[in-house]
Structure 1
């Protein structure tokens, strides 16, 4: 079966779940608004500029979860889904996913955002396979660290290849939808790269390479 790979933030979602999670923590009073907000915004700018230290960012993002047990994390994420993520859902994205599903393609979300934030989002979108940056969990508690390679830039290729080797799938004829120039390494590996509401750097590259450029925004 052909793979249909989807980036999540600002591709399937009309917004960035990672940055929005930080803003949600501020809103809930879980983190210091001024210091955390400044750092969260700075990391987001680094991401957009292609200069993000993904390990430093993920450790920053995960630190707030260290004191929370699984029930507290679940409750917090349920609120996040209802208040923040549901308004980011895009009907055109749902239709695109369904188009590939009807074609019999294997659907995969591949995202740099950690699996704690993105797991329930993938479930809500009806996509069973999620390749994401993985938080370290010991005795059901988050340590604030990640395990394995971050699913970011070239790391997406590593994560995908690991998954391919265990599932028997291949990249033959694969599609990959993304908004970000950070995903150029993987976009250049697939047969069908598609730029979705692309950032300036990706739009330039996609235009030069004559890749399809689409919008999923209403």
Structure 2
């Protein structure tokens, strides 16, 4: 199935409720004030900050937001989307990565984009950010990144998400740049294979070490932020690690090591469970629709 032409169907994008946007704005201001009060480090040109994306910068998993946008444009059908939604609900409920889900998403994404152009996916990533990610940026983490920028430090995203979506997030937030998983392409067309492997776990630390050397940074003066125990190689590399919205294992490790922990989910458990429940309902609806379609076609 090929994606629908952009002009062939009018899409309606529902903006976040005004109260939601107001709440986010207020949280951003409060978080910014908290950060500026508690985190005062002199400007240092040899310092930089590295941020994970999923559940650190963005609520949920960015690749599933991308999958939703691809589904809406006809890249794949309801059955595949039902699986993606189910994994997103799991992520929102547990607040942690599942290696099997990540691998499945990688395989599915590569098969879907094979034969499509880089320009096509880059354009889609921009649209996906506007439609489903912009209002899911954690205000507190955004304030942390801005503080590093205000001190004259460079800020990079380091994520297993596709580089196309990582670059959009970095650009929209005014960050220095991004490192992400790279899909192979020849003459601007995706082959369905990766260049190397996912930028995940130890691979993140390898990428940051290389960047530190290329940019002349002092790794002991650098900072890193993540929610996942899988990112211990990156967090342990820098002089100033910080756990943000941490999973259980990372929280325990951070507390043992005396690392700062910032959890912007505190006080929102009921709200998060409500969103997850709504997502679960949506996944069931999509799955039911896919089953009905198959029955009609039989």
Secondary structure, aligned partner of 2:130 = helix
2:50 touches 2:155 (CA, 8 Å); kept in 1? yes
1:12 equivalent in alignment to 2:57? yes
Distance 1:170 1:62, change over 3 A: farther
Partner Cα distance (1:69, 1:197) in 2: 35
Aligned twin of 1:26 = 71
Aligned twin of 1:192 = 240
Which has the higher relative contact order, 1 or 2, with Cα contacts under 8 A spaced 6 or more apart? 1
Distance 1:212 1:189, change over 3 A: same
1:11 touches 1:216 (CA, 8 Å); kept in 2? no
2:118 touches 2:190 (CA, 8 Å); kept in 1? no
Partner Cα distance (1:43, 1:83) in 2: 16
* Offset at residue 58 of structure 1 (A): 2.5
Task: Say which one has the larger Rg.
Answer: 2
Partner Cα distance (1:98, 1:68) in 2: 35
Distance 1:44 1:7, change over 3 A: farther
Which of 184, 203, 206 is the matching residue for 2:251? 203
Structure 2: segments with no counterpart, 5+ residues: 1-45, 269-298
Aligned twin of 2:154 = 106
* Offset at residue 140 of structure 1 (A): 0.6
Structure 1: segments with no counterpart, 5+ residues: none
Which of 58, 70, 79 is the matching residue for 2:127? 79
Partner Cα distance (2:69, 2:235) in 1: 31
Distance 1:35 1:94, change over 3 A: closer
Secondary structure, aligned partner of 1:10 = coil
Partner Cα distance (2:88, 2:193) in 1: 17
TM-score under structure 1 length normalisation? 0.86
Aligned twin of 1:94 = 142
Distance 1:193 1:52, change over 3 A: farther
* Offset at residue 45 of structure 1 (A): 6.2
* Offset at residue 102 of structure 1 (A): 1.6
Which of 260, 266, 275 is the matching residue for 1:212? 260
1:167 equivalent in alignment to 2:212? no
Partner Cα distance (1:85, 1:5) in 2: 20
Question: What whole-Å deviation, never above 9, does each CA across 1:138-190 have from its counterpart, x for those lacking one?
Answer: 11111121113431000111111222232222312221111111111211222
Question: What whole-Å deviation, never above 9, does each CA across 1:57-106 have from its counterpart, x for those lacking one?
Answer: 43421322223334533442232121111121233333211211122222
Taking the TM superposition and a 5 Å limit, the aligned residue runs for 1:122-141 are 122-141=170-189
TM-score under structure 2 length normalisation? 0.65
- RMSD between aligned residues: 2.7
Partner Cα distance (2:137, 2:99) in 1: 28
Q: How many corresponding residue pairs?
A: 218
Partner Cα distance (1:137, 1:88) in 2: 30
* Offset at residue 9 of structure 1 (A): 1.3
Aligned twin of 1:151 = 199
Secondary structure, aligned partner of 1:193 = strand
